[in-house]
Amino acid sequence: MIEAAVSYAHAHQAEYLEQLLELLRIPSVSTLPAHRPDIQRAAEWLAADMQRMGLEHVQIMDTAGHPVVYADWLHAGAEAHTVLLYGHYDVQPAEPLQQWETPPFEPTIRDGKVYARGASDNKAQLFSQLKALEVMLAANGRLPINVKLLFDGEEELGSPNLPAFIAAHKEMLAADSILVSDGAMVSTTQPTIDYALRGVVSGEIRVSGPSRDLHSGSFGGSVHNPIQALAEIISKLHDEFGWVKIPGFYDRVVSMTAAERSLLRQVPYAEEQWQAETGAPKPWGEPDYTLLERMTARPTCEINGIWGGFQGEGDKTIIPAKACAKVSMRLVANQDADEIAELFTEYVTNLAPDTVHVQVIIHTGANAAVTPFDSSEIAAAMRAYKVAWGAEAVRSRAGGSLPIIATMQQELGIPFVLMPFGLDDNRHAPNEHYHLSHFARGINTAIHYYHYLTEL
């Protein structure tokens, strides 16, 4: 049965690529209100595809925000394993547009990659999973296990409405394990299974001083410059080693065991690769941890954006009325997102001098997620990668966040498998892309995984 499905996948590869390009053309940017109709269009496009391939109970389900797309196929028997497949059809904003070599929503193929916003995060990965189901249904007339699909339209917003949706649909979503294809393998020859995701808390620091921009000649020396005050606050978020100075920030962090650190040392991620991926002059961060640990197993505090005053060409000698910074913190188990948001707010508020007004605004918060790295589902995934990629998968942590995984895990009480098919791929950046070879191999990996799940 596997062979028939794999052959079928191979034969229909070009057709599936065409479909993927269609999906990539829909600018389903969830964070920008203007793209609301595109989000709806992407949901409808997926629902139609799912319907066509023979999935059942296909429905676009409303939330307080963007809709969820649900479908299932439950004819493998009551005893069979049930997978809850999660993916998201929304994408990050494409800005800055002028840095794209080809337009973000006109997918372009060059050098064996498709370039488009959302190519890697998450459309091609979600689509590999979807096409694996189509292939099995078409070639075998059935799936080896039961599957429920839950496609999110607000992942890039932090899935604000999905927790309520999941809580309200626990029975509908009941399953034995969660499967997600998102994020990155270590390299194109090194398949990777992630057993942890970081959480995230995001927000803004807003500093205001004078009621309007002031002439820096007339008032310079007597006014606390809001940019300077903001910089002074930001400079106190880390010590010189990269340790986050927010009091209490690390209190609940679960230390890695020796066994886990040893497992992570098997992941072939050297400084050369970091250098190639980042282009930064030199690594930075907590010296007690390896690069991979800093990027995945340690909590962080990042400034994602800053602005204030004059940004044009030349000079405008002002003391600006205000300055703002976007901040996000990545969390690990067992940090509590709400508590971290409070600690951050309290710390920044306490740092604020009385010469300016400082306001902290929290946008979203989500906890980290960890699943046992020796689960039988992860063992099945390792077998599947071995066949599809011809290499032993390593088990690692993912540095990014899929806030909803922790929620699903908590609400449904089941383990998860993070089965990434992507690479760094310029996700969240200009010129996002996806390797076409990964698209084919992803489908192949998923087909094998579903079959190996029957042998648990």
Q: Which of residues 203-232 bind its own copies (CB under 8 A)?
A: 209-225, 227-228, 230-232
**Applying CB under 8 A, does 363 fall inside the site for its own copies?**
yes
CA distance linking residue 61 with residue 68, whole number of Å = 5
- Asked if residues 207 and 357 have their Cβ atoms less than 8 Å apart, the reply is yes
**Applying CB under 8 A, does 284 fall inside the site for its own copies?**
yes
Does residue 436 sit in helix, strand or coil? helix
Residue 141, Cβ neighbours under 10 Å: how many? 10
Query: Which C-beta is closer to its own copies: that of 231 or that of 436?
Result: 231
Supply the minimum distance, in Å, between the C-beta of residue 189 and its own copies.
19
- Asked if residues 433 and 203 have their Cβ atoms less than 8 Å apart, the reply is no
**Applying CB under 8 A, does 427 fall inside the site for its own copies?**
yes
In terms of phi and psi (left: phi > 0; alpha: psi -120 to 50; beta: otherwise), the region of 221 is left
Query: Which C-beta is closer to its own copies: that of 49 or that of 182?
Result: 182
Choice from 3, 171, 272, 315 touching its own copies (CB under 8 A): 315
- Name the DSSP class of 12: T
Q: For its own copies, which stretch binds (CB under 8 A), given 15-23, 39-47, 303-311, 378-386?
A: 303-311
**Applying CB under 8 A, does 357 fall inside the site for its own copies?**
yes
Query: Which C-beta is closer to its own copies: that of 120 or that of 128?
Result: 120
CA distance linking residue 452 with residue 384, whole number of Å = 7
Supply the minimum distance, in Å, between the C-beta of residue 232 and its own copies.
5
Residue with token string 């009941």: 174
Site for its own copies in 153-192 (CB under 8 A): 157-158, 183-184
Q: For its own copies, which stretch binds (CB under 8 A), given 92-100, 133-141, 254-262, 369-377?
A: 92-100
- Asked if residues 384 and 448 have their Cβ atoms less than 8 Å apart, the reply is yes
Could you give the string, one character per residue 249-268, with x where binding to its own copies holds by CB under 8 A and - elsewhere? --------------------
Residue 40 CB partners (closer than 8 Å, separation 6+): 66, 67
Query: Which C-beta is closer to its own copies: that of 285 or that of 415?
Result: 285
Closest CA to 256 of 196, 191, 330, 339: 196
Supply the minimum distance, in Å, between the C-beta of residue 336 and its own copies.
19
**Applying CB under 8 A, does 430 fall inside the site for its own copies?**
yes
Does residue 333 sit in helix, strand or coil? coil
**Applying CB under 8 A, does 307 fall inside the site for its own copies?**
yes
Choice from 81, 131, 330, 395 touching its own copies (CB under 8 A): 330
CA distance linking residue 229 with residue 248, whole number of Å = 23
Query: Which C-beta is closer to its own copies: that of 213 or that of 336?
Result: 213
| Phi, psi of 244, rounded to the nearest 5 degrees | -80, 125
